[in-house]
Structure 1
Amino acid sequence: MLDVRRLRLLRDLARLGTIAAVAQAHAYTPSAVSQQLAALQREAGVPLLEHTGRSVTLTPAATALVGHTETILAALEAASATLAAARTGLSGAVRIGAFPSAVPILLPAALVALGRDHPGLDLMVTELDPVDMPDALRDGRLDVALWHDYDIAPVEPDPGVDSVPLLDEKVFLAVPAERPEGTIASTRDADWIVGTPGTLCHTVAMRVCQAAGFTAGVRHHADDFTAVLALVAAGQGVALVPELGATHPPADVRLVPLDVHRRTRIAYRRGAAEHPVIAACVRALESSTTAYLARTGGGAHPVGAPHHRHVTT
């Protein structure tokens, strides 16, 4: 019988690439990970790892086993959902991840509704960049997450994560009110304010400028859109800001709509869609988003059907 915990380590080795990275992700020593993978290889009865110097690669059999592991882990999530549905009332810790611009706008009403309707839930919010959310969901550090990508920088499908679409926002070019820029191409010689390298916002800014035929001249790095807009208002450069990040722009900032969109999803581990806690979170977040759009009448709009589930793309 194959040990599920060891299968999870093999899956993470395929994802992370090194035993050291797997050890760090699980708070193990590299030696302990190696021992567990060796035990899994004995259970499998076929070679799973190939060692070349200090590096290790998966054999074709191991790669196939990783695919089965994703199915096994999803089945375990579904089994947990079935058991949870048989209990009376919802209780326990719920770890919710959200990107910064969603926290003050979409989360509060959802948290109030969840606390009112399910007082047994212990709700905990973590602010996280979208690039870190798949790992946090797979590792169990999050149970549900508000996760986004952009049409110009789509997220690759993750076999361990399912999601339901929530919101589609327009992205704006934010410029000082007195400057004449009205297109991305016109900012070729402007200073740019972009996110920290490695964040999705940084990637999007770079790609938008590359698509217009130039490399952004970065002057400032800032991840909070309030700070970004304050820098734009101070004449420090131009920036990209999605609709949720531009709800109260300074008077000295002009927002130019672009043909670029940010797409938000509610994400969770594959197989967990029918878990009553996950379903309650999805309903609360959908309701809070609908209420926000009704109040603001902005260009953002909800997407997807409330009960449609799909692997995120």
Structure 2
Amino acid sequence: MDLGRLRTLRELSLRKTMASVAEALLISPSAVSQQIALLEDEAGVELVERRGRGVRLTPAGLRLVEHAGRVIGILEEAKTDLAELKKTVAGELRVAAFPSVAASLIPPTIRALSQRFPDLVAMFEESEPVDSLAALRAWQTDVAIIDDLTTSAGLAEAQVETLHLFDDRLQVLLPPDHRLADQAHISLQELATERWALDTTSATYSDVIVAACQEAGFEPIINGRCHSFEVVRAMVEAGCSVSINPGLRGRDYIGTLLLKEIRPTITRRIFVAFRSGELRNPAVAGFVEGLRSVVAAMADLKGRIGAAGRPQTEM
């Protein structure tokens, strides 16, 4: 059976629609449909059931996806074995990370990696943690930076190793003339009557903020659902809203805005993730080592960065 078609079927099992698979594989939805039809001809059995805009795999399709996962895994393991034996580290390393950490961590890490392995090209793609983790499991990226606020262990589908990088405390973002400007830290309850602007690029992240407000006893009044931090910042600068900002992002330009610690604290843990066993790959190991060095160099920034942890396996 054609390996590319098996990959397409496996993607369909993860992403559920032809359109999302097409976007992930950078092909047209009709090409995805054609790949599946050809695979069904090869298999001699129906593999998917089309339901409206989505599809559901048949029992035969689910069984074939299981086999495809093992086949692709063996091939990737073979690539890692060969990479470990190479004297020259070359080719392409694919990296995915979300915006609020990517801006601080990715450029210096890629620069260090290119100096160590000049024949290796690190390709970065901005992606939210859930999507990055899905891409990692689908062998569409080699390294993913994720957090524990917007990903769930329940999404585990293949063995992935994670290495704790640091803890990042969320902070309240206020205009300079706000009534709470003189306080060193702020409780969410003190913001119950405020209007909120949220960065909804990641629906999961904004859901976390809303849930924290609800746990504090109020439903936030949202007057801005923004698709970038720049718009959130503009809303707060104009005095229209307050917001919650990742602590690491506080290193970036915030103009005259104020960052206040939340009490009790809301902390997200940041991890680098890679497929199990791939630290044997010099390119992956070099990137992770460079990433940890960047984190260590930032460790004195207002106590936001914790000590690097040990690898742990996610099943």
TM-score under structure 1 length normalisation:
0.82
Corresponding position of 2:48: 49
Q: Partners in 1 of 2:126 and 2:55 — Cα distance? A: 34
Q: Which region of structure 1 is more displaced relative to structure 2, 102-111 or 3-12?
A: 102-111
Tell me: CA distance 1:301–1:198, structure 2 relative to 1, closer, same or farther (3 Å): closer
Query: CA offsets per residue over residues 87-138 of structure 1, 9 Å max, x none?
Result: 1121123333332222342234323321222122223333333343235445
Out of 255-264 and 267-276, give the one that drifted further.
267-276
When structure 1 is superposed on structure 2, of 264-273 and 105-114 the one drifting more is: 264-273
Q: Match of 1:253, as an amino acid? A: L
Please tell me the residue identity of whatever aligns with 1:259: T
* Residues 198 and 116 of structure 1: CA distance in aligned 2, closer, same or farther (over 3 Å): closer
The 3 A distance-change label for structure 1 pair 84 and 7 is: same
Distance 1:108 1:27 in 2: 25
Letter in 2 for 1:173: V
Q: Shift in Å at residue 252 of structure 1?
A: 4.9
Contact 1:193–1:220 at 8 Å: present in 2 too?
A: yes
Residues 1-313 of structure 1 mapped to structure 2, 5 A cutoff: 2-44=1-43, 46-51=45-50, 56-137=55-136, 142-150=141-149, 154=152, 156-160=154-158, 162=160, 163-176=162-175, 178-180=178-180, 182-196=186-200, 198-222=202-226, 225=229, 228-229=232-233, 231-247=235-251, 252-257=257-262, 258-269=264-275, 272-293=278-299, 295-305=300-310, 308-311=311-314
In 1, are the aligned partners of 2:197 and 2:225 still within 8 Å (CA)? yes
Task: Verify the 8 A CA contact 1:49 1:56 in the aligned structure 2.
Answer: yes
Structure 2 unaligned segments of length 5 or more: list them: none
CA deviations 1:169-194 (Å, max 9, x no partner) are 11122334542382212222201121
| Greater shift in the superposed pair: 62-71 or 114-123 | 62-71
Displacement of 1:5 after TM fit?
2.0
C-alpha spacing 1:108/1:89, structure 2 compared with 1 (3 Å): same
Kindly provide the CA deviation profile for residues 182-212 of structure 1, in whole angstroms up to 9, marking residues without a partner as x.
2212222201121135444322222222323
Q: Distance in 2 between matches of 1:176 and 1:87?
A: 55
Task: Please say which of residues 38-47 and 182-191 is displaced more in the overlay.
Answer: 38-47
The percentage of aligned residue pairs carrying the same residue is 33
Structure 1: any 5+ residue segments left out of the alignment?
none
- CA 1:105/1:31 → structure 2, altered by over 3 Å: closer, same or farther? closer
Letter in 1 for 2:267: H
Shift of the 303–200 alpha-carbon distance from structure 1 to 2, 3 Å rule, reads farther
Deviation at 1:291, TM superposition (A): 1.5
Q: What secondary structure does 2:265 align onto? A: strand
Output the amino acid matched with 1:179. R
Q: What is the deviation of 1:255? A: 0.5
- The 3 A distance-change label for structure 1 pair 126 and 59 is closer
